[in-house]
A and B are shown apart, each in its own frame.
Chain A
Amino acid sequence: MVIFIALLASALRLATPLIFSALGGIFSERSGVVNIAIEGIMINGAFFAILVTKFTDSPWLGVLAAMVAGALTALLLAVLAIHLRGNQVVAGVAINLFATSITAFLLEMVWKRSGQTDAVAHALTGNPLTFLEKIPVLGELFAGLTPFVYLAFVAVAITYYVIYKTPFGLRIRAVGEHPRAADTVGINVYKIRYICVMISGVLAGISGASLSLGTVSLFREGMTSGKGFIAIAAMIFGKWHPIGAMLASLFFGFAEAVQIQASSLGINNIPSEFLQTLPYIATILVLSGFIGRAVAPKADGIPYEKGHR
């Protein structure tokens, strides 16, 4: 039982960055902009969270910095993808490379070494709602959670509400499915897309902060290790729906937790690499329609040009 609770807490912690980033992906792609840059935005978020926490000694300011850094990185993608009508995948690849290099560069400038930063004094690795720990049995679970875990679920609820219950959400979906029709009824396609890509940057920025501030209290080069792409996988697996993406993230997080703790769980006959490939193979199967086909928003990845037929 203790092992199971620990496993569950670990799964929730591992799912948290995936949830944030997958939600970010949903905002961007629902409005019609493919966001391959999530990985790079996470890297920037993770780094600036630590950088600002180091200088202000306030982890919450660090989170804010991650959000701002994420939004600005996403703005670069937005300008390239929306106004310059560049290839969104190419822009994403470029931003990923840029984020990797610029953070490594700044790391060397600020900490005078490469690889990883020092740990910050105050991070967000503890459970903020300590009263929950008094609940029998489940208290153990809550003790293993970080503020980011709770925030992730709040973000899911907000995203669901915004996309499905507000006029703004209706506009997002209209712009992502049929921008010309949306434009005709007076929706500003460019504006909606800019806002969505920036929101996506904010969420992926928090996701990065949850990796650095929420786990090891420091920034390490390559610490995202493809989590941005797993988040994209979760978004697709969840069919571009916030609840679906959350469930997919939890599933992938659980798979990772099992893989990490395989030996203590007594699982030795399944190669750990198999569990690592699970999210990717599952996504391929879903995308190709072998198990419940996932269909992207219609205008996803297509730059919109006014007055162009």
Chain B
Amino acid sequence: MQIQRESKIKIAIDNIKFPLLAIVFSFIIGAFFIIWTGNNPGVAYVELFSGSLGTVSRFGETMLKTTPLIFTGLAVGFGYRCGLFNIGVEGQYILGTVFTISAGWIFRDLPGSILPVILLISGALGGAIWAFIPGILKAKRGVNEVIITIMLNYTALYIANYVVRAVLNPSILQGTEKKAYSVMIPEQGRLTMLTEIFPSFGYSSVNTGIFIAIAMAIITWFILFKTTLGYEVRSVGFNPYASEYGGISIAKNITLAMVISGALAGLAGAVMITGLTYKVDMASGMPGYGFDGIAVALVGKNHPIGILASAFLFGILKNGERKMQIAGIPKEVIGIIQSIIIIFIAAEAIGSYWPSIKRKLTGKKDEEVKA
């Protein structure tokens, strides 16, 4: 028993070691860029962390930024567990917002006891439907999901723009002037601001969405590690053919994993709409939460608990960058740090070169080094 626990801790440390190193290295490289701008990196990083964690309301804002990242990180991570690379979280998020806002208009007369739930389910449904397309194409026709999801991202963007411009525009439904955004979610359909319950959150717009996000992380963990479904999904991700031989359907699990992943992405959109923006804006580009989700999932090692932690880290970066900007440091430094983190994670195989280097140094001929 004792031995088992120890080895579990060791595995956990092994898992955390590399992302941590990647983060530290990225901050060091980021420091050089800050020096280049003529600023002191120490001051900048203090600004970054105090700006995002210094007071309760700042912490609230960080939690607000963390909320969508938890969902999109979980979405990418869940897909990854089944061997799927869901770059389409971006598009599924967008469709989630479209479904949420549409449901908000259709069910605008429902009471506040039920409307928020309906809106969240609608958002999840939107994302799930959008993810079903690459899922079924991969399962039935073996089409690579990466390209399909990229194409669907842009398709979703233009669908959303069309809906906002020509269907759910206030000018059409409420007879106002033409607007660059949709109608609003009715008051009773919105999530509660935490500052209404705990006034110490002050100006922060953090809302109950953060609790939904954390709950989803726990549920995702439960599904992945404590249910048959999760076992099958992970099994297909680990070795599809062995799973098939063992009686686990590849097609079924790929489709299902994609749909669940999409539902999580759609939920991110729903929580964004019901918790913060209350409307959908026309957009010329991607919102970026899906791509952030990839980074979050990678740093969190596709484990729901790891994703919670890494989403929080990226939330700190996202919130703190404005404070750095105010202190006169270009906020793009944060983007550079983020991308370098992902580059390091992508280059994880650097680690696998280490044993061969060590062997050369010690002059020993060990058994073949596994990649």
Q: Which residues of chain A have C-beta atoms less than 8 A from B87's C-beta? A: 36, 89, 93
Question: Is B336 a contact partner of A280 (Cβ separation < 8 A)?
Answer: no
**B144/A84 in contact, CB under 8 A:** no
Q: For the complex, give the distance between the alpha carbons of A101 and B346 in Å.
A: 18
Q: Which residues of the other chain, B, contact A80 by a CB distance below 8 angstroms?
A: 343, 346-347
- Whether A277 contacts B159 by the Cβ 8 Å rule is yes
Query: Whole-angstrom distance between the alpha carbons of A225 and B348 in the complex?
Result: 30
Other-chain contact of B155, A84, A95, A277 (Cβ < 8 Å): A277
* Stretch from B112-120, B145-153, B358-366 at the A interface: B145-153
Minimal Cβ-Cβ distance residue in A for B342: A94
A11-30 contact mask (Cβ, 8 Å, vs B): 1 or 0: 00000000000000000000
Q: In the complex, what distance in Å separates the CA atom of A17 from the CA atom of B63?
A: 41
B23 CB to nearest chain A CB (Å): 14
Give the distance in Å from the alpha carbon of A68 to the alpha carbon of B84 in the complex.
34
Query: Given the complex, which residues of A lie within 8 Å of B326, measured CB to CB?
Result: none
| B334: A residues at CB distance < 8 A | 101
B298 CB contacts on chain A under 8 angstroms? 90
Q: Is A197 an interface residue when CB atoms closer than 8 A count as contact?
A: no
Whether a CB of chain A sits under 8 angstroms from the CB of B85 is yes
Is A87 an interface residue when CB atoms closer than 8 A count as contact? yes
B154-A226 in contact (CB<8A):
yes
Interface size on B, residues (CB 8 A): 49
Mark interface residues in B336-347 (1 if CB within 8 Å of A CB, else 0): 101110110111
| Chain A, 249-307, CB within 8 A of any chain B CB | 271, 273-274, 276-277, 280-281, 283-284, 287-289, 296, 301, 305
- Please choose the segment from A128-136, A178-186, A228-236 that sits at the chain B interface, where 4 or more of its residues have CB less than 8 A away: A228-236
| CB–CB B339/A85 < 8 A | no
Tell whether A273 pairs with B162 under 8 Å between CB atoms, given A98-B339, A305-B371: yes
Contact B335 A101 (CB under 8 A): yes
**Contact in complex: B166, A271 (CB < 8 Å):** yes
Tell me whether A280 and B335 are in contact (CB under 8 A). no
Q: What 0/1 readout, one digit per residue, does chain A (85-121) give for beta carbons within 8 Å of chain B?
A: 1110111011111101110110011000010000000
B330 in the interface, Cβ–Cβ < 8 Å?
Answer: yes
Contact among B133, B285, B340, B349 with A225 in the assembled complex (CB-CB below 8 Å) = B285
Tell whether, in the assembled complex, residue B332 and residue A105 are in contact, meaning their CB atoms are under 8 Å apart.
Answer: yes
- Distance in angstroms between the alpha carbons of A93 and B298 in the assembled complex: 12
- What chain A residues lie within 8 Å of B333 (beta carbons)? 101, 105
Whether A105 and B336, one on each chain, are in contact in the complex, defined by CB atoms closer than 8 angstroms, is yes
Tell yes or no: B97 within 8 A of A by CB: no
- Given A105-B333, A109-B330 in contact, is the A93-B291 Cβ separation under 8 Å? yes
> Is B33 in contact with A105, judged by CB distance below 8 angstroms?
yes
A281 and B346 in contact, given A222-B285, A225-B284, A273-B158 (Cβ under 8 angstroms): no
Across the interface, do B148 and A98 meet the contact criterion of CB distance under 8 Å? no
Chain B residues lying within 8 Å of A233, measured Cβ to Cβ, are 151
Contacts of B343 in A (CB 8 A): 76, 80, 91, 94-95, 98
Closest to A109 in B: B37
A273 pairs with B285, CB closer than 8 A: no
Query: When A225-B284, A229-B150 are in contact, do A108 and B346 touch as well, CB less than 8 Å?
Result: no
Residue-wise, chain A 136-176 has the 8 Å CB interface mask toward B (1 for contact) of 00000000000000000000000000000000000000000
* Chain B residues with CB below 8 A from A87, complex form: 85, 346
Closest CB of chain A to B262's CB: distance in Å?
A: 16
Query: Which of the listed residues B144, B150, B333, B335 has the most CB atoms from chain A within 10 Å of its own CB?
Result: B150
A44 to chain B, nearest CB (A): 12
Please determine whether A90 and B335 come into contact, CB atoms closer than 8 angstroms.
no
A105-B33, A288-B148 given; 4 more Cβ-contact pairs under 8 Å = A104-B332, A105-B330, A273-B159, A274-B158
- Would you list the 6 A-B pairs with minimal beta carbon distance, nearest first? A101-B335, A98-B339, A94-B342, A105-B332, A86-B346, A97-B339
